[in-house]
Amino acid sequence: MAIDQVHDLQQVYRNMLDCMARPGTITSLEQKTGLFEDQLSYNEAIFLCALTVLDAEVTFYIIADTDKGDKLAELISSYTMARVTSIEKADFIIVLQGDIKEEINKALSICKMGDLINPQQSATWIVETAALSNNGGVTIHGPGIKESKQLQTGLWNEFWQTRNSKVKEYPLGIDLIFVDALNQISCVPRTTSVKLTEVG
Amino acid sequence: MQTKPHFAFFDEGSKKEIRRATLKAVAIPGYQVPFASREMPIARGWGTGGLQLTLSLIGKKDVLKVIDQGADESVNAVSIKKLVQYTTGVALTDHTAEANIIQSRHRIPEHPLREDQILVLQVPNPEPLRKVDAREYMTKRMHAEDDYSGAWLILFEQIMKYGKMTTGAAHPVYVNGRYVMAPSPIPRFDNPKMYYSDALILLGAGREKKIYAVPPYTNVESLAFEDYPFSKESFKGKQCKLCGAEEVFLDEIINQETGDRTYQCNDTSYCMERLNSAQEKEVESSYA
């Protein structure tokens, strides 16, 4: 089944908006694969999110450990006309799963976080994870969350620590969108306070 | 030859741009995100910001309600509804509970909103500091520096002159303890409805090219002083002459000839729902 640029992406956007407004909420996107089946070596939701928000006006950067990052970059560029740029300048940073801990930590500390006059000029991260759930993981609270929530992303502690120091000077910071293999998405914007609960 | 309009009026590129700005607005509650407000078939300043938000949100399954100063049938609401329906074919409703996107001008409905609903507010003047400085560059700086002394001073001057805060509408609010925001020209009566709201609230100013948002469960506090606390408009002892509702926002209607004052619900669909349910009960009891 092909992706309908108008109606399918509208659905994806509403899911993203819902998740961004209610951090930690997990919603699932409709499975659309078929068209890209043989090419996809990453979660389809990554591609759907990219199609929804990227166009010629914005730039992106992909962090991946194999050449699948380059393939995805080419695919996204050809579909959306968005340009690949350096980590420091990218409006969107897309992270694929892989052995890339160090690169991610480095990217977290050097990516755009806006300035006080224009805090919106910051990077939005779209991060591929194995499985999202509300059992265990980090404890989050803040705007959009009634009391507090648990969010399991499978990411390491240092990731959250670096993220926390990145959003210290609110309103500066980065917004995170997580996607998993089941086409589920969940968001953690800069306003969310993240507490580490897991060990290791 | 007349071609069919594109779904939701906009080209997909325009929607993407509005959507990106909206996501950022939600992530930075109360901060006015600039966006490239598109030319619309209605005049700027007449709800184009709200309309652009609605068009960027809406899908085939959505049910839309549009109100103007609490009324479903006034000109602004009807023309916006017609445009959206013509370009999308979505269902329209007057009932607040049935809608999942509610675009509103100057009111938050009386019926409490739910988690699955989105409230879109039309904003004529998004900048609460515009009276303090006419230059956008300066007001943006004040927001950046968390310098809201001007906003406080406006209220202080009102108290000095009139003995109370005299904001008729758009009483400024603190969002998430950081940004001072104009809640659109809603009466003070509606300000507390933004505090820990269940629904997501999006605000769009088309002429001023700004989108901002209040996510659900967010601290929204009206600006007030310890000795001059914030107060809503009071309708104590008054009730709607049609449905008898109390504790709602009432319109005052003055009879030109006799000079008599009567009051009526400002939210027309709320009033109508109450009248209908009262009538149903009456019919049920008379048959029993």
Specify the CATH number for the domain of residue B171.
3.40.50.11310
pLDDT at A83: 96
The stretch B206-232 carries a mean pLDDT of 96
Query: Which residue in A5, A13, A175 is closest to B27 by CB distance?
Result: A175
A 102-121 residues inside an 8 A Cβ radius of B: 115-117, 119-120
Alpha-carbon distance of B231 to B50, in angstroms, equals 28
**Partner residues linked to B265 by β-bridges:** B250
pLDDT at B283: 86
CB contact under 8 A, B57 and A14: yes
Residue B2, domain member (yes or no): no
Q: How far does A43 lie from chain B, in Å, by closest CA?
A: 22
Alpha-carbon distance of B279 to B207, in angstroms, equals 44
In a 3-state reduction of DSSP, which class is residue A43?
A: coil
Do B241 and B182 lie in one domain? The reply is no
Is A193 in the B-facing interface, judged by CB distances under 8 Å?
A: no
- What percentage of chain A has pLDDT greater than the value 90? 78
Residue B64, domain member (yes or no): yes
Do B214 and B247 lie in one domain? The reply is no
Residue B286, domain member (yes or no): yes
Query: At residue B167, does pLDDT exceed 50?
Result: yes
Is B192 in the A-facing interface, judged by CB distances under 8 Å?
A: no
How is chain A split into domains, by residue range? Answer: 7-195
pLDDT at A200: 46
Is B173 in the A-facing interface, judged by CB distances under 8 Å?
A: no
CB contact under 8 A, A117 and B219: no
Phi, psi of A117 (to 5 degrees): -75, -40
- The segments of chain A whose pLDDT lies below 50 read 200
Residue B4, domain member (yes or no): no
Alpha-carbon distance of B244 to B246, in angstroms, equals 7
Band (pLDDT 50/70/90 cuts) for residue B145 is very high
Phi, psi of B138 (to 5 degrees): -70, -45
Residues of B acting as catalytic residues: 30, 240, 243, 265, 271
Asked whether B189 and B232 are in contact (CB, 8 A), the reply is yes
Measure the CA angle with vertex B16, ends B12 and B18; round to 5°. Answer: 115
Which chain A residues are within 8 Å of B145, Cβ to Cβ? 116
Query: At residue B129, does pLDDT exceed 50?
Result: yes
Residue B152, domain member (yes or no): yes
Is B174 in the A-facing interface, judged by CB distances under 8 Å?
A: no
- Give the number of other Cβ atoms within 10 Å of residue B49's Cβ: 32
Do B85 and B111 lie in one domain? The reply is yes
- Does the interface ipTM go beyond 0.85? yes
* Full domain range(s) for residue B151: 12-222
Do B129 and B215 lie in one domain? The reply is yes
CATH code for the structural domain at A7-195: 3.40.50.11310
Identify the DSSP state of A169: S
Q: How far does B218 lie from chain A, in Å, by closest CA?
A: 5
The stretch B12-37 carries a mean pLDDT of 97
Which chain B residues are within 8 Å of A11, Cβ to Cβ? 59
**Structural domain count of chain B:** 2
Which chain A residues are within 8 Å of B12, Cβ to Cβ? 5-6, 9
Do B68 and B141 lie in one domain? The reply is yes
CB contact under 8 A, B24 and A21: no
**Partner residues linked to A59 by β-bridges:** A83
Select from B184, B200, B222 the last residue of a domain: B222
Asked whether A55 and B13 are in contact (CB, 8 A), the reply is yes
Band (pLDDT 50/70/90 cuts) for residue B231 is very high
pLDDT at A32: 67
Say if strands B261-265 and B250-254 run parallel, antiparallel, or are unpaired.
Answer: antiparallel
Is A162 in the B-facing interface, judged by CB distances under 8 Å?
A: no
Residue B24, domain member (yes or no): yes
Residue B1, domain member (yes or no): no
The stretch B264-271 carries a mean pLDDT of 96
pLDDT at A67: 85
Structure tokens at B274: 């109450």
Is B144 in the A-facing interface, judged by CB distances under 8 Å?
A: yes
Do B85 and B136 lie in one domain? The reply is yes
Structure confidence by residue, pLDDT tens digits, B204-215: 999 999 999 999
pLDDT at B7: 95
Do B19 and B162 lie in one domain? The reply is yes
Do B278 and B167 lie in one domain? The reply is no
In a 3-state reduction of DSSP, which class is residue A69?
A: helix
Do B167 and B247 lie in one domain? The reply is no
Which chain A residues are within 8 Å of B213, Cβ to Cβ? 21
Select from B222, B248, B276 the last residue of a domain: B222
Residues near A123 by beta carbon (within 8 Å), at least 6 away in sequence: A90, A91, A92, A93, A111, A112, A113, A174
Alpha-carbon distance of A118 to B33, in angstroms, equals 8
pLDDT at B168: 85
pLDDT at A34: 53
Alpha-carbon distance of B9 to B88, in angstroms, equals 8
Stronger pLDDT, B134 or B287, i.e. the higher one: B134
